Amino acid sequence: MRNLFAIYLAASVASVCAQDAETQPGLALTWQVGEAQVRTVAPNLWLYVPEGQSPSPLVPEGRFTATFEGFVNIDLRGDYSFHATGKGGVKLEINNAVLLDLKGIGGVTQAKTKTIRLNKGGNAIKLTYTSPSKGDAQLRLFWSERPDKPLPHEPVRSGQLTHLPSAVLTQATLIEQGRELFLQYRCVRCHSSEGAAIPEFAMSGPAFNAIGDRLNPSWMSKWILDPKAQRPSARMPRMLHGEQSSTDASQIAAYLSTLRVKSGKSPVKHPEPDLEAGLELVQELNCAGCHTLPGDPAGEGKLSLAHLNGKFKQGQLVDFLQGPNNHYTWTRMPKFNLSKKEAVNIAQWLRSEARPHQEPLVKIDAEFIVQGKNLVTSRGCLNCHSHEEKNQFKAPDLKAVRADKLMEGCLSGEAGGKTPHFGFSTEQLAALRAFTSTDRKSLHRHEPAEFARRQIRVLNCNACHGELEGFSKLDTIGLKLKPEWLEKLFSGSLDQKPRPWLKYRMPAFPARARGLAHGLALGHGYPAVTPVEKDPVDANLAKIGRDLVGVDGGFSCVACHGVKNRPPLQVFEAQGVNFARVNERMRPEYLMRWMLDPLRVDSQTRMPDYFDENARSVLVDVLEGDAKKQIEAIGQYLRQGKAMKIPVMQ
């Protein structure tokens, strides 16, 4: 028996060591719909799938089971409890002990577990969720490491959920990566596929209208000849090959340079630039998060701006900075809603630092332009770029691309003939071949949460979020903010910045606004539309809340928070959001967690903590000193929005 115990102990230690050495972020997630099954990696234990939609692009719609597996990791041994909310069935197992086993949980049901002791390091977790027979599927699992305290459960913190990789999961991830590459490189623009459209089907390249007004012919010629030579991350393929390619590129550029807007208007006069102000704006907008600035050493994955003088005609960089999406709806370039003066200052600073350029004066033969036009219409340019001319290029539709032909054409990895050459790496080719070997039906299934995760990577959002002051991490943003407000934020249509005093500013991505907002909500276990609160504002509680935020017998919240048109009285370290704007943006349940323990929600916040760990308030004479009741009163006051009355502020 002693020997058996020793063997068991050795095996357990080896297992833990292997886990510590090999675990990867997130949980392994298996989607099962009928006989169809697919695996992926989930960032957390949340989901929301509207009725009639697929839980994943890689499985069909229908009732499903979602199985999350992996480890929840803690620094010190302690007691924890878990809290599940949603609609459907849920079974939760921790270290092989069943904590929950419910056939169905309702939206208002509180399914809490008993307290369980978790060990230091990784604790095995398995959650099996079954979607309801009718209605939307919804799940959120939170936990508490203070189960003996009257405090709400909270999300498992980022980085605490991990999983062990497997061959099956690795292959599934490769297929996902291939699908993402297929969409990023807009393969469907040439290889059409019939069926329901997903957002990326609408993505195209910059429009050709007035391109001759915007870009220099010499730069266009070099770009057309070999895009990746100009930008290593370019997604446009090299379309021209052989001895004639350089001439072909010059002919296409010559034709494109004739596409101009005929106007008798005088050139636009820009204000005198302030180069110092331009540099300050470049820093405030964190341009270096995505770009290598002129004069700086090359950064991996960043787009150098040293070429700007060679690319843009005089005056055109200003217009581009003000409206990067004017000629390119799905551009990755953020729209910062710059004023004319700001755009001039940035443009002129960049031009002063970039490589100098003098566009050569070249007389173009008419026949040269005709040849360029023929190439534009026949070589596939118009599959991605909108233009009034008729497209003469036709590629096989996706159905005709058989699995046994995947080593040919675009995926051959070789440049030659008339085949587009994308310059894919060996890893990218493997991923694309893995995806195109599937039935490809996933191209016609739109899953908003997955769309949002993809676009966050494409737009490089984490270059700012979690890195700059005022830009919170994105791992719980859908738990905090309402999708309606997020859509306005992403589209750039908010009438006022939530934090106008911050030097950094959030850019807009209008084409992606709704998809990002809906995806962030669904991915965090909420519907894409915030449900209307059934109960009207409690006037009595709202009056108490108004007193609580004021300076006379309250918490003096108005020292840092403005109210409507009244500025804060005396900001302590950092200003807060105007109270009249809180309800339109923040979810009520987040407000409760936030106010009970701000530093626990955001370790960098300047928000003071007014309540103790027993949810008791220092204002013991208001609502029995019950912190939750007081926060509910403040919440009722905030619900009034712009109709709220000004509290005592003197």
pLDDT reported for residue 272: 87
393, with CB counted inside 10 A (0-12, 13-18, 19+), is middle
SS3 content of the chain, % helix, strand, coil (to 5): 40, 15, 45
27-33 and 65-74 beta bridge pairing: antiparallel
**Which residues, 6 or more positions from 400, have their beta carbon under 8 angstroms from its beta carbon?**
none
Helix (H/G/I), strand (E/B), else coil: 98: strand
Helix (H/G/I), strand (E/B), else coil: 626: strand
pLDDT reported for residue 496: 86
Topology match between the domains 21-165 and 448-523: no
8 Å CB contact between 245 and 428: no
The pair of three-digit structure tokens given for residue 100, joined into one six-digit string: 């929950």
The pair of three-digit structure tokens given for residue 576, joined into one six-digit string: 């807060």
Homologous superfamily, domain 539-643: Cytochrome c-like domain (1.10.760.10)
Q: E strand or H helix at 296, and its extent?
A: none
CA distance 212 to 364: 14
Dihedral angle sign, alpha carbons of residues 19, 24, 27, 28: negative
pLDDT reported for residue 18: 41
| Helices and strands: H and E segment counts in the chain | 21, 14
Q: DSSP letter string over 419-449?
A: B-B----HHHHHHHHHHHTS--GGGG---HH
Q: How many other C-beta atoms are found inside a 10 Å radius of the C-beta of residue 496?
A: 8
Map 30-97 to HEC letters.
EEEECCEEEEEEECCCEEEECCCCCCCCCCCCCCCEEEEEEEEEECCCEEEEEEEEEEEEEEEEECCE
Smallest CA-to-CA distance from 111 within 133, 74, 138, 78 is with 138
Q: E strand or H helix at 350, and its extent?
A: helix 340-353
CA distance 25 to 531: 32
CA distance 474 to 23: 22
CA angle 66, 72, 77 (to 5 degrees): 150
CA distance 575 to 555: 15
Q: Where are the domains of the chain?
A: 21-165, 166-257+364-444, 448-523, 539-643
Q: pTM for the complete prediction?
A: 0.92
CA angle 550, 553, 555 (to 5 degrees): 55
Type of residue numbered 503 = K
Strands (E), 106-173: 111-112, 116-118, 121-130, 137-144, 161-163
Q: E strand or H helix at 253, and its extent?
A: helix 245-256
The pair of three-digit structure tokens given for residue 637, joined into one six-digit string: 């006051």
Mean pLDDT by 10 residues, the chain (650 residues): 39 42 91 97 96 96 97 96 94 96 70 94 97 94 94 92 96 96 93 88 92 96 95 92 94 95 67 93 94 89 93 95 95 94 96 95 89 95 93 88 78 82 94 93 95 95 88 90 97 89 90 97 97 94 97 94 94 89 95 93 87 95 96 97 93
CATH of domain 448-523: 1.10.760
Smallest CA-to-CA distance from 509 within 386, 328, 633 is with 328
8 Å CB contact between 357 and 289: no
The alpha carbons of the chain give a radius of gyration, in whole angstroms, of 28
DSSP 160: S
Cα torsion for 485, 487, 488, 492, to the nearest 10°? 140
Q: How many other C-beta atoms are found inside a 10 Å radius of the C-beta of residue 50?
A: 15
> Which CA distances in Å does 376 have to 202, 223, 248, 391?
21, 14, 10, 8
Bridge partners, residue 171, by sequence: none
Q: DSSP letter string over 517-585?
A: HHHHHHHTT--SSPPPPSSPP-HHHHHHHHHHHSSSSS--GGGT--BTTBPPSS--SSPPPPGGGTTTT
CATH of 21-165, one of 3.40.50.1370, 2.60.120.1560, 3.40.50.300, 3.40.50.150: 2.60.120.1560
Helix (H/G/I), strand (E/B), else coil: 481: strand
The pair of three-digit structure tokens given for residue 213, joined into one six-digit string: 């007004």
pLDDT reported for residue 264: 53
CA distance 632 to 161: 32
Q: E strand or H helix at 292, and its extent?
A: strand 291-292
**Which residues, 6 or more positions from 161, have their beta carbon under 8 angstroms from its beta carbon?**
25, 26, 27, 43, 44, 45, 70, 71, 72, 73, 125
